Amino acid sequence: MTSSLSVSDQLHRRVQETITESTKSGGWDLADSLFDDLSRSLFEHQYSSCPPYRRFCDGRGITPFTLSRWEDIPAVPTEVFKSVDLFAFSADEAQIVFLTSGTRFGNRGRHLLRTDATYLASLAPGFDRFLLPEGSEKPLIYVLAPPVDVDPASSLSHMLQWAHDQRGAPRSRFFWTPEGPDLDECASALRAATSPVLLLSTARAIQALLETHDGAWVLPEGSVVMETGGPKTSGMKFDRRLFHDEVAARLGLPAFSVVSEYGMTELGSQGYSPSLLLHRGAAARESEVSLSADLHVFPPWCRVRALDPDDLTLLPEGKRGLLCFWDLSNVDSVLCVLTADEGIVTERGVHLLGRSSSASPRGCSLAVEEILGGSA
Amino acid sequence: MRLQDILVGLQKSANSLQERTVEERIEALVAWARAWVTPQDPYRLETLRRLPASTGLSPEMIERGLDVAFESVEAHRLRDWWQREGGAPSSAQLSAHILSSNVFVAGLPPVIGSLLAGVPAFIRPPSDQPEFAEVLVRSWNERQLLGGSYLGWMGWPRDHQGKTQALLHAADRVFVFGGDETVHSIRQLGAADPDAGQVFGFGHRLSIGAIGREALPSVARWDSTFENLSRDALSWDGQGCLTPTWIFVEGDPQTAEELARTAATFLPRIAEELPPGRELDPAEGAARAAYLGQAGFEGFSSQGRGWAVASFAGVQLQPSPPARSLIFLPVDDLSVLPTLLTPLGDHLQGLLYVGDSARRDILEDSLSALGLSRAVPAGMLQRPPIDWNHDGVRILHSLL
């Protein structure tokens, strides 16, 4: 284990250095060769130190010795995190255990981190780039989600706690009670705000806030709203652009000030819609800003491709498919994660199309779940 | 034309059909079936042209379905069927056939049985897939086989209960294909009308495969067996009640994995022979990837366009395997299957068996309490004969 730990430590350091290097001086880029090199090293570590993953890769005929390109690293579907321990270290060394919120089959996916250093190093640049206006004072951060001490297994709570602690001005706070989001308090605080606010929340909690409190707010100029988790967790029909327009109108903000975040327990990195960033850019057109609600940009150390649902082969840019992530911040788990989310990958980012729930036609063949219960 | 007019017309034609001898009816049925398997038959061509869009099945699959269904309509088989279950004039004047989606020939045997018994038949296809019923009826009536129009059809949405009630009232026998809920609702409608015809239900079911340990030593000579397993799995895009959901292997997990790995080398070619009629949507693709991903951690999995294969280290009945897949599950002894599958109730339909026929017979007996009505070698499961009685219904006998 000592040698594997030292390999892990070295990889953590390399990934953190890569993150620093690729975001230096406002940069947002990582050379293909560097990504390829580091992803190979991570794959080798994960293959050799995570026996279930090694078996999975062997079954697909792909090992660190036969890997020809990083896109061929075997992808693990997110569902598998519910039943298989995917970490390249001993479980008792885990500093953090993230659990998924999904309860569809009664069990939750686990993502164990031996150290949160790389997770935090990966988190900060995206948060700063897409949510914090350049050169501004620390905003007042209001969080409409549980803090870490309430939900220590939630990766979202970890992220929001970090934002509150590290990026928030004094008097930043969580609006959460044992019963759930404290909508009344949050509404009062937003109405009373006199300096720019950064409201961080799930889409569902914002929706609840708007539904339970009539009228319009006018938040101080420079305020920003970040929503996350809309269609994925609620299963509702979700038009993100309309949602952003509604949030902006009700809170007295320009549309570009509503930003969407995409993250998941199984990934260390997050993506953001770039409306605020585009608005800052002189060349940005208003139409581009408004179209960006469904567009998410991921950091250079997290690459995304759409896969053909029929055979999981890579699709060319512009084609709709299942989103697959190669995230270098997943040092000690698996770096290649296949989601059930649909999207279109373009040069500019990833257009998230949510998750459909169509059922396969079965003719007169019986689904086992129809008899035994469960989800057919 | 109004439904009532069609039903009355069919009832009136019953006497002239009954006047024909059984041999004449057999001769007409065989001629009709032969036409359907003739490549240039206009009704066959029309079916091949029209059904892919509504069923989502490929033309190759539809062609195979037609061939399998009509090739089994042979004179000797119909005679045997009549001798076994028929032999007496029918008192019925009209049979009704309420069909379900996609496996469009599943409801054909009771229609054939009805004509064999001298009973005109009315077909109510699923409202979104009326094409096959329409063409089938025309193919008989326009030819004026046995000198009459003994088939009729009309489609309507499920919630138009008035029409369904009228059909149940007019028919002497009613054959219903569909999910348990559909069958139950038709039975309830029938029960509310003392004059309604007797209802026979054919619900949704599943099939399995089993490989006996006695067959494993010769696995190296199994090329045709793997091809047949693949055809059984891919036929009807996995939507038939005769699709093997799992293949139980009497051996250890390594053996199951070896079989899965070998099957992976045959499936791509059979998938080209029986291509899927449509692409998976992302939700189906994600569910399939999750299932196969899980298998990849426990045993082995592989996939391609239109096929998938997996093995697990033990028995895993949930979630349901993806369509068009072969799933190998190891068991120490096949004698555990009746207990293992008891939770499925009486929903078992067919068994494909690779191994000695004597052991197949024993397994068939032990699974009959779970509803099993058919045990055959690999490659035969999806080729049921026209006189196959299933779901506890003796089709021809029920028409008398």
Domain chopping of chain B, boundaries:
3-204, 206-377
CATH number of B206-377: 3.40.309.10
Which chain B residue has the Cα nearest residue A51? B297
Give the minimum alpha-carbon distance from B313 to chain A in angstroms, rounded to a whole number. Answer: 13
pLDDT digits 0-9 by tens, A281-293: 655 555 555 566 7
Task: Out of A20-29, A166-175, A209-218, B93-102, pick the least confident.
Answer: A209-218
* Inside any domain, residue A372: no
* Inside any domain, residue A93: no
In this complex, which of A311, A322, A342 lies closest to B304 when CB atoms are compared?
A311
Structure tokens at A147: 């803090």
* pLDDT score recorded for residue A376: 40
In this complex, which of B239, B245, B287 lies closest to A363 when CB atoms are compared?
B239
* Interchain proximity B285–A364, CB inside 8 Å: no
3-state secondary structure of B185: helix
**Could you tell me the pLDDT band of residue A137, with boundaries at 50, 70 and 90?**
confident
Name the more confident of A117 and A366: A117
Nearest to A94 by CA among A110, A113, A108: A113
pLDDT at A162 over 70: yes
Would strands B307-311 and B300-304 be described as parallel, antiparallel, or unpaired? antiparallel
* Interchain proximity B56–A372, CB inside 8 Å: no
Q: Which ipTM was obtained for this model?
A: 0.88
* pLDDT score recorded for residue B1: 80
CB-based burial label for A128 (10 Å; 0-12, 13-18, 19+)? middle
Residue A123 structural domain: 118-354
* Interchain proximity B318–A84, CB inside 8 Å: no
Give the minimum alpha-carbon distance from A109 to chain B in angstroms, rounded to a whole number. Answer: 13
Percent of chain A with pLDDT over 70: 88
Which chain B residue has the Cα nearest residue A339? B286
* Interchain proximity A309–B302, CB inside 8 Å: no
The residue to which tokens 């779940």 are assigned: A369
Name the more confident of B183 and A237: B183
Task: Out of A26-40, A81-95, B205-219, pick the least confident.
Answer: A81-95
Looking at the DSSP bridge assignments, the partners of residue B97 are B123, B175
Round to the nearest angstrom and report the end-to-end CA distance of chain A.
Answer: 42
B202 in contact with A, Cβ within 8 Å: yes
* Interchain proximity A59–B319, CB inside 8 Å: no
* Interchain proximity B279–A320, CB inside 8 Å: no
CA separation, residue A221 to residues A143, A175, A254, A256, B158 (Å): 19, 22, 9, 12, 57
Interhelix angle A51-59/B282-298, nearest 10 degrees? 110
Contact B237, B61 (CB under 8 A): yes
* Interchain proximity A309–B100, CB inside 8 Å: no
CA separation, residue A366 to residues B69, B283, B308, B388 (Å): 21, 19, 19, 19
Would strands B348-354 and B374-377 be described as parallel, antiparallel, or unpaired? parallel
* pLDDT score recorded for residue A2: 47
Would strands A173-174 and A140-144 be described as parallel, antiparallel, or unpaired? parallel
* pLDDT score recorded for residue A234: 46
Over the range B36-56, which residues count as b (16 or more CB within 10 Å of their CB) and which as e? bbeeebebbebbbebbbebbb
pTM for the model: 0.90
Which chain B residue has the Cα nearest residue A343? B282
What is the rounded average pLDDT of the residues A332-344?
Answer: 95
**Could you tell me the pLDDT band of residue A156, with boundaries at 50, 70 and 90?**
very high
**Could you tell me the pLDDT band of residue A91, with boundaries at 50, 70 and 90?**
confident
Contact B348, B371 (CB under 8 A): yes
Q: Answer yes or no: CATH 3.40.605.10 is held by domain B3-204.
A: yes
B313 in contact with A, Cβ within 8 Å: no
* Interchain proximity B236–A83, CB inside 8 Å: no
B30 in contact with A, Cβ within 8 Å: no
Secondary structure of chain A in the HEC alphabet?
Answer: CHHHHHHHHHHHHHHHHHHHHHCHHHCCCCCHHHHHHHHHHHHHHHHHHCHHHHHHHHHCCCCCCCCCCHHHCCCEEHHHHHCCCCCCCCHHHCCEEEECCCCCCCCCCEEEECCCHHHHHHHHHHHHHHHCCCCCCCCEEEEECCCCCCCCCCHHHHHHHHHHHHHCCCCCEECEECCEECHHHHHHHHHHCCCCEEEEEEHHHHHHHHHHCCCCCCCCCCCEEEEECHHHHHCCCCCHHHHHHHHHHHHCCCHHHEEEEECCCCCCCCEECCHHHHHHCCCCCHHHHHHHHHEEECCCCEEEEEECCCCCCECCCCCEEEEEEEECCCCCCCCEEEEEEEEEEECCEEEEEECCCCCCCCCCECCHHHHHCCCC
Which chain A residue has the Cα nearest residue B179? A364
**Could you tell me the pLDDT band of residue A100, with boundaries at 50, 70 and 90?**
confident
* Interchain proximity A372–B206, CB inside 8 Å: no
* pLDDT score recorded for residue A5: 62
What is the rounded average pLDDT of the residues A132-137?
Answer: 76
What is the rounded average pLDDT of the residues A9-30?
Answer: 95
Distance (Å, whole) CA A273 – CA A261 = 7
Structure tokens at B279: 């692409």
* Count of CB pairs separated by less than 8 Å, A with B: 155
Residues of B whose CB is below 8 A from A84: 294, 297
B201 in contact with A, Cβ within 8 Å: no
Give pLDDT tens digits along chain B (400 positions): 899 999 999 999 999 999 999 999 999 999 999 999 999 999 999 999 999 999 999 999 999 999 999 999 999 999 999 999 988 889 999 999 999 888 999 999 999 999 999 999 999 999 899 999 999 999 999 999 999 999 999 999 988 999 999 999 999 999 999 888 899 999 999 999 999 999 999 988 999 999 999 999 999 899 999 999 999 999 999 999 999 999 999 999 999 999 999 999 999 999 999 999 999 989 999 999 999 999 999 999 999 999 999 999 999 888 899 999 999 999 999 999 999 999 999 999 999 999 999 999 999 999 999 999 999 999 999 999 999 998 889 999 999 9
* Interchain proximity A368–B344, CB inside 8 Å: yes
* Inside any domain, residue A18: no
Which chain B residue has the Cα nearest residue A54? B297
* pLDDT score recorded for residue A373: 66
Contact B269, B350 (CB under 8 A): no
Residues of B whose CB is below 8 A from A78: 290
B102 in contact with A, Cβ within 8 Å: yes
* Interchain proximity B317–A363, CB inside 8 Å: no
* Interchain proximity A368–B320, CB inside 8 Å: yes
* Inside any domain, residue A274: yes
* pLDDT score recorded for residue A171: 93
Residues of A whose CB is below 8 A from B317: 368, 372
Give the minimum alpha-carbon distance from A61 to chain B in angstroms, rounded to a whole number. Answer: 10
* Interchain proximity B239–A365, CB inside 8 Å: yes
Residue B300 parent element (H or E)? strand B300-304
* Inside any domain, residue A149: yes
* Inside any domain, residue A299: yes
Distance (Å, whole) CA B260 – CA B277 = 24
In this complex, which of A311, A320, A367 lies closest to B303 when CB atoms are compared?
A311
The residue to which tokens 């979630």 are assigned: B319
* pLDDT score recorded for residue A217: 84
* pLDDT score recorded for residue A239: 84
Which chain B residue has the Cα nearest residue A320? B282
B373 in contact with A, Cβ within 8 Å: no
* Inside any domain, residue A224: yes
* pLDDT score recorded for residue A271: 96
Number of domains composing chain A: 1
Name the more confident of A94 and B123: B123
* Inside any domain, residue A222: yes
Percent of chain A with pLDDT over 90: 67
* Interchain proximity B347–A371, CB inside 8 Å: yes
Give the minimum alpha-carbon distance from A107 to chain B in angstroms, rounded to a whole number. Answer: 14
